[in-house]
């Protein structure tokens, strides 16, 4: 017997088995996908007025396309209609009162030092986390705790003009500087700076590249960062935050040119709700502060069309950036393994109820566009729209569910994965929003400072207070209404109720109640609380049991 040949045969057999096993192992490793990435797109002041939401005016082809491959939420609500509290709520999964953030100058991290934010949770679970643009509000960016790296700084071409005060045009920059100097000479530099009163024009249309302004630049930065991150094997959470269509309404000229201003319709519902709360609406201070806006009085038809034109141009500008970002994601090869979330921090009244701004407890300000695409989950439901009531508070647990991460026990929202799988589901809960005395706290959701009351806003502030006094009678007390009154809104499928309370006395009879019938009065034109005591009692009980 030739033992040498037998040995060789056995060796070959063992080697082939080993190599086969190795190949299967590598094959299995290659087929195993990393955890899904997350592209987290945040937009500032964007109301639910897009092509995909039924607008016949707004041109938003890229966002519309995103909705066509995901699930669109038609009844999504934020927890407070102003930037800071809304974003803090979304990113911590907590209601504004839970984290004690109800104005622009409260830090959730100071109030709840150990709370784990959404990007922080992903970071602690092996994700690369990074943001470009506005995600958290202002200075409260939580850089140390929430993010693993900084975005790429893109070098701009020499043909991109520099801006001053956010403006590209020389005449806009001049108006800004002249207005700033005039106000400082009259009221003092400290008052003007601390109250953000040094503004230029509300609108600008300049024939410049997209990246001239922050949102265009931040998109390039996010794309460059994406291209770096795909080079390694770690999953990533990339947040891209757009500042428009927040005031000022500034966008490159080509987006203004998409619209015929003379054909832009203006609001037809121009009065506050009949028998509504006088404390529920302010006097459009955020817009009036612009150098070229009327400080008192109404906005004429021509000006309203011009303002809407600017708002819509900003939406189309943002839409183009969304298109660039998603195309870059496709080009990177990561599109099929990336969850995309598109949301806004609150809406904005464009003359409805006679108001220009966001600081209210009403439908237009609290309802927002909200779209999710999730490979493997929305493949069978893509393009569908759901009318189930949801809160932006639900976003945190939803992303945990979609990526297989453990959901922190302190979150106050619910996963929306069941709705993504079955968009025809009925509402599982009401949606809650709040705002502290909007009429007296529109400006940053914080009481007007005594110096602020001496400025050009004084006549409007007196007008606001007199309206509240006339309605509330002997219940009126300035300190109480400035400091402690909170409006709590609960949106059910058929109604919106707004319960106005003194926060120090939550169990006492509410100071005022508003009730709107969304079946027969979707624009909230008439408060029907007085005529419907039984429905009010039912909804107040529901609020007390569920909020």
As annotated, the active-site residues are 83, 137
- Six-digit token pair at 195? 């109250």
Distance of alpha carbon 353 from the chain centroid? 22
- Six-digit token pair at 229? 């991150």
Closest CA to 403 of 7, 39, 16, 21: 39
Residue pair 304/341 in contact (Cβ under 8 Å)? The answer is no
Closest CA to 88 of 117, 130, 125: 117
Residue pair 381/359 in contact (Cβ under 8 Å)? The answer is no
C-beta atoms surrounding 545 within 10 Å: 7
- Six-digit token pair at 249? 């309404």
Contacts of 112 (CB under 8 A, 6+ apart): 92, 94, 98, 99, 100
Q: How far apart are CA 114 and CA 99, in angstroms?
A: 11
Read off the DSSP letter of residue 500. Answer: E
- Report the first-to-last Cα separation within the chain, whole angstroms: 87
Q: How far apart are CA 370 and CA 417, in angstroms?
A: 14
> What DSSP element (H or E) covers 193?
helix 189-194
Read off the DSSP letter of residue 157. Answer: P
Residue pair 302/40 in contact (Cβ under 8 Å)? The answer is no
Q: Which residues of 43-79 are buried (b: 16+ CB within 10 A; e: fewer)?
A: bbbbbbbbbbbebeebbbebbbbbbebbbbbbbbbbb
């Amino acid at each position: 017997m030739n033992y040498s040949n037998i040995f060789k045969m056995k060796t070959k057999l063992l080697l082939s088995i080993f190599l086969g096993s190795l190949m299967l192992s590598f094959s299995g490793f290659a087929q195993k996908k990393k955890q899904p990435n997350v592209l987290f797109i945040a937009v500032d002041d964007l109301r639910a007025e897009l092509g995909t939401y039924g607008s016949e005016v707004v041109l938003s082809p890229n966002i519309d396309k995103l909705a066509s491959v995901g699930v669109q939420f038609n009844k999504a609500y934020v927890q407070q209609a102003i930037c800071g509290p809304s974003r803090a709520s979304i990113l911590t999964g907590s209601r504004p009162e839970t984290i004690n953030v109800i104005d622009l100058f409260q830090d959730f991290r100071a109030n709840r030092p150990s709370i784990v934010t959404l990007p922080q949770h992903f970071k602690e679970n092996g994700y690369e986390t990074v943001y470009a643009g506005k995600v958290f509000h202002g200075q409260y960016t939580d850089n140390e705790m929430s993010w693993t790296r900084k975005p790429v700084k893109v070098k701009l071409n020499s043909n991109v003009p520099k801006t001053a005060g956010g403006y590209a045009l020389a005449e806009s920059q001049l108006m800004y500087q002249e207005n700033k100097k005039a106000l400082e000479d009259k009221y003092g530099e400290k008052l003007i700076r601390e109250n953000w009163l040094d503004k230029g024009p509300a609108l600008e249309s300049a024939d410049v590249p997209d990246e001239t302004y922050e949102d265009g630049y931040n998109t390039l930065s996010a794309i460059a960062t994406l291209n770096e991150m795909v080079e390694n094997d770690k999953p990533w959470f990339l947040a891209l935050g757009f500042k428009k269509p927040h005031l000022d309404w500034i966008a490159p000229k080509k987006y203004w040119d998409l619209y015929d201003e003379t054909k832009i319709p203006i609001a037809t519902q121009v009065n506050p709700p009949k028998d509504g709360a006088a404390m529920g609406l302010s006097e459009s201070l955020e817009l009036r502060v612009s150098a070229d806006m009327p400080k008192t009085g109404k906005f004429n038809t021509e000006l309203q069309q011009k303002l809407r034109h600017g708002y819509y141009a900003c939406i189309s500008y943002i839409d183009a950036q969304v298109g660039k970002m998603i195309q870059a994601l496709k080009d990177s090869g990561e599109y099929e393994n990336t969850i995309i979330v598109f949301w806004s921090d609150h809406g904005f009244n464009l003359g409805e109820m006679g108001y220009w701004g966001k600081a209210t407890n009403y439908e237009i300000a609290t309802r927002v566009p909200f779209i999710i695409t999730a490979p493997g989950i929305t493949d069978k439901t893509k393009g569908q729209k759901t009318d189930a009531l949801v809160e932006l508070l639900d976003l945190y647990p939803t992303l945990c569910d979609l990526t297989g991460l453990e959901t922190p026990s302190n979150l106050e929202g619910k996963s929306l994965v069941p709705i993504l799988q079955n968009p025809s589901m009925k509402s599982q809960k009401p949606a809650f929003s709040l705002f502290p005395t909007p009429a007296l706290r529109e400006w940053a959701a914080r009481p007007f400072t005594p110096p602020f009351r001496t400025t050009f806003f004084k006549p409007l502030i007196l007008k606001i207070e007199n309206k509240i006094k006339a309605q509330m009678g002997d219940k009126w007390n300035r300190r109480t209404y400035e400091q402690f009154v909170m409006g709590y809104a609960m949106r059910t499928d058929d109604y919106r109720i707004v319960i106005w309370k003194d926060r120090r006395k939550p169990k006492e009879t509410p100071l005022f109640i508003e009730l709107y019938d969304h079946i027969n009065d979707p624009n909230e034109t008439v408060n029907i609380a007085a005529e419907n005591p039984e429905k009010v009692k039912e909804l107040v009980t529901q609020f007390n049991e569920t909020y």
